[in-house]
Structure 1
Amino acid sequence: MAGAAFPTTTAGAAAPVLRISPHADPRGLTAGQTRVGRLLLIPALVAFGLVILGPFLHALALSLFRDNLESPQVVFIGLANFRRILSDPAVIGSFVTTAIYVSTTTAFTMALGLAWALLMHQPFPGRGALRALSLLPWVLPSTVCAFVWAWIFNSRYGVLNAILLEMGLIDFPRAWLSTAGGAMAAIVITKVWLSIPLYMAFFLAGLQTLDKEQVEAARVDGAGNWAVLRDHVLPHLRPVVLVVAVLGMIGNLQQFDTIYALTGGGPVRATAVLSVEVYRRAFEAWDIGVASAIGVLWVATILPPAYLYLRQLLRST
């Protein structure tokens, strides 16, 4: 019937009217599924509160007190610890050192991880075994890797000096870990070597979804390797690059064990990043209040990349 107020089927019968509840989830989930999902989040929220939020709030509270070996009792001093560390050249230097370490390590690891992923993406005999071996640095304990690299950079019996002397590139053994530049280069190289397998795995996963026909068409049109990488591979990997960069910055900001085992923050504070500075103030100087204040500011440096990561993650869902 013309002008009917309800839909009809092909047989002319009236189709059932679908009524959508105003309380329906916009993602298409039923009320029961939404409740189950919220219940499943409870263990993760409890773990987050016990492992992350609770200790952070405790450190935030400690940062408002004077708690060191010089004071017989804990005294509330408000923001005095923050004013003290923001005027301390040593702490400001730790922020600068952290920025240099994080930016350098993340950039080199991304470049080498992408290059290794591109190589592992090519078909050749033994590719599977080489992919598996490539993950070896990542699965080894980071402290063990730090001691291995400390042996490599050792001035007396290190492998690096032996190779350079044999090649005639240096005239005498160098004390790499005793100079500011050498120590910074050592911790960067060690962390890059440890992180390349993880970055490679991310990039390799992104390369698996690359349209091969599009690449083949570009090569038929005369595009070289650089043109394919610039115009096809990198645009396709843009979301992966963003996630890897943000996760890399967060991981490098949290790095402690490798740096402390390799250089101990030296020489003369040349590699004293924020994590090392917190350890020194808390367990060497026994100034818990100042160490907690530095830790709170350290967390503040992690929040911007964490926000970018969560924003990208929510956009992709």
Structure 2
Amino acid sequence: MSNIQIEKKTRTVPPQGERAPRDSKLSRVIKEIKVKKHLYILMAPYMILFLMFTVLPVVLSIIISFTYFNMLEMPKFVGWQNYTRLFLEDDIFLIALKNTLLFAAITGPVSYFACFIFAWIINELSPKWRAFMTLIFYAPSISGNVFFIWLLIFSGDRYGIINGLLIEIGILLEPIQWLKTEAYVLPIIILVQLWLSLGTGFLAFIAGLQTVDKTLYEAGAVDGIKNRWQELWYITLPSMKPQLMFGAVIQITTSLAVSDVSIQLAGFPSVNYAAETIVTHLMDFGTIRFEMGFASAIATVLFIIMIGSNIIVQKLLRRVGE
């Protein structure tokens, strides 16, 4: 080996006690983007739309929540005034918050487990019956005029189905104004929402059950799994965790963002605000009173509740199969 080669070799070795220079995180990210640039190009249209119509509105709503903005004048910064007014002065918001949390605590878990149980049962049927039953269970969530049926059922006159039946069998003497009586409004809305809840989450569970590798059940039988419940807990549920997470997000969003059922059945506003929810309260200030700063504060509180609920559910779902 010549002297020139020895000099080149010794120059590349760092001095004793010093580490060889490493690529920065930014440079590694840039290299990865260059390697997988075709994937990022394909993702670009969705990411642009997602940033424009999801991320940007959320950020702007949080900013506007600290202002007074009536859509006619420029926003004026008021600090925490909207939030102080929301929790300390707005009694209707507290009613809406209580109704929403109660509504979510009942309809969220019940509809989530109902979606999975029905999907699990339907998945055991033959392909033709599976397709037919999936349509039957999913149809209510896509029906356009579904509330008209429930208005007939809970109509407050003698021609209402519930009133007519109860009067006919002698339980009632006079018809009850179901949707105008404070004690009955919220339970009826919860019932209707549960009926409508077999939607996107239900289809996700059906799809997840179809993708479970059948050979895992054979391997599980060899490893000591003895019954269907053990198969469900140790094989089926861990194999469809993405669908379980997606269904949980859908159910949380649906249960916390309820508004159409309340407006269509109980009116806007409902009697003594018995069916008021956070979203209907938001619509009141945002689309009727045009107090956009206050409405943005309501939306921000709802956003925080949804994020917190999703974090809790994700932690619970990670334990599935353990």
Aligned AA (1:272): E
1:118-133 counterparts in 2 under 5 A? 118-123=120-125, 126-133=129-136
In the alignment, the residues of structure 1 paired with residue 292 and residue 63 of structure 2 have an alpha-carbon distance, to the nearest angstrom, of 11
2:77 aligned with 1:76, yes or no? yes
Could you say what secondary structure the match of 2:290 adopts?
Answer: coil
Instruction: Look up the match of 1:297.
Output: 301
Preserved contact between residue 87 and residue 94 of structure 2 (Cα < 8 Å): yes
Could you say what secondary structure the match of 2:272 adopts?
Answer: coil
In the alignment, the residues of structure 1 paired with residue 199 and residue 76 of structure 2 have an alpha-carbon distance, to the nearest angstrom, of 48
Aligned AA (1:84): R
Equivalent residue pairs, number: 284
Runs of 5+ consecutive residues of structure 2 not aligned to the other structure: 1-22
2:297 aligned with 1:285, yes or no? no
In the alignment, the residues of structure 1 paired with residue 66 and residue 162 of structure 2 have an alpha-carbon distance, to the nearest angstrom, of 47
Q: Residue 45 and residue 152 in structure 1: after superposition, are their counterparts in 2 closer, same or farther (change >3 A)?
A: same
Aligned AA (1:139): I
2:232 aligned with 1:228, yes or no? no
Provide Cα deviations, 1:151-194, integer angstroms capped at 9, x if missing partner.
Answer: 32211232233344445554443222123342112222222222
Instruction: Look up the match of 2:205.
Output: 203
Could you say what secondary structure the match of 1:237 adopts?
Answer: helix
Which TM-score applies when normalising by structure 1?
Answer: 0.73
Instruction: Look up the match of 1:174.
Output: 176
How much does 1:47 deviate?
Answer: 0.9
Preserved contact between residue 247 and residue 309 of structure 1 (Cα < 8 Å): no
Instruction: Look up the match of 2:237.
Output: 237
Instruction: Look up the match of 2:6.
Output: none
Preserved contact between residue 66 and residue 75 of structure 1 (Cα < 8 Å): yes
In the alignment, the residues of structure 2 paired with residue 212 and residue 116 of structure 1 have an alpha-carbon distance, to the nearest angstrom, of 23
Could you say what secondary structure the match of 1:196 adopts?
Answer: coil
2:138 aligned with 1:139, yes or no? no
How much does 1:308 deviate?
Answer: 6.1
Instruction: Look up the match of 1:18.
Output: none
In the alignment, the residues of structure 2 paired with residue 34 and residue 312 of structure 1 have an alpha-carbon distance, to the nearest angstrom, of 34
Instruction: Look up the match of 1:109.
Output: 111
In the alignment, the residues of structure 2 paired with residue 164 and residue 213 of structure 1 have an alpha-carbon distance, to the nearest angstrom, of 52
Instruction: Look up the match of 2:254.
Output: 251
In the alignment, the residues of structure 2 paired with residue 193 and residue 79 of structure 1 have an alpha-carbon distance, to the nearest angstrom, of 40
Could you say what secondary structure the match of 2:273 adopts?
Answer: coil
How much does 1:74 deviate?
Answer: 5.0
In the alignment, the residues of structure 2 paired with residue 37 and residue 309 of structure 1 have an alpha-carbon distance, to the nearest angstrom, of 30
How much does 1:60 deviate?
Answer: 2.7
How much does 1:262 deviate?
Answer: 2.0
Provide Cα deviations, 1:65-115, integer angstroms capped at 9, x if missing partner.
Answer: 22359x987532122111111213322222221111112111221233233
Identity of aligned residues (%): 19
1:56-71 counterparts in 2 under 5 A? 56-68=58-70
In the alignment, the residues of structure 1 paired with residue 311 and residue 152 of structure 2 have an alpha-carbon distance, to the nearest angstrom, of 38
Higher share in helix: 2
In the alignment, the residues of structure 2 paired with residue 190 and residue 232 of structure 1 have an alpha-carbon distance, to the nearest angstrom, of 33
1:50 to 26, 49, 52: 52
Instruction: Look up the match of 1:15.
Output: none
More displaced stretch, 270-279 vs 161-170: 161-170
In the alignment, the residues of structure 2 paired with residue 164 and residue 197 of structure 1 have an alpha-carbon distance, to the nearest angstrom, of 31
Could you say what secondary structure the match of 1:268 adopts?
Answer: helix
Q: Residue 133 and residue 150 in structure 1: after superposition, are their counterparts in 2 closer, same or farther (change >3 A)?
A: same
In the alignment, the residues of structure 2 paired with residue 213 and residue 75 of structure 1 have an alpha-carbon distance, to the nearest angstrom, of 61
In the alignment, the residues of structure 2 paired with residue 246 and residue 298 of structure 1 have an alpha-carbon distance, to the nearest angstrom, of 14
Provide Cα deviations, 1:176-228, integer angstroms capped at 9, x if missing partner.
Answer: 2123342112222222222214343233334332759959x98xx9x7xxx63
Runs of 5+ consecutive residues of structure 1 not aligned to the other structure: 1-21
Instruction: Look up the match of 1:10.
Output: none
How much does 1:275 deviate?
Answer: 0.5
Instruction: Look up the match of 1:162.
Output: 164
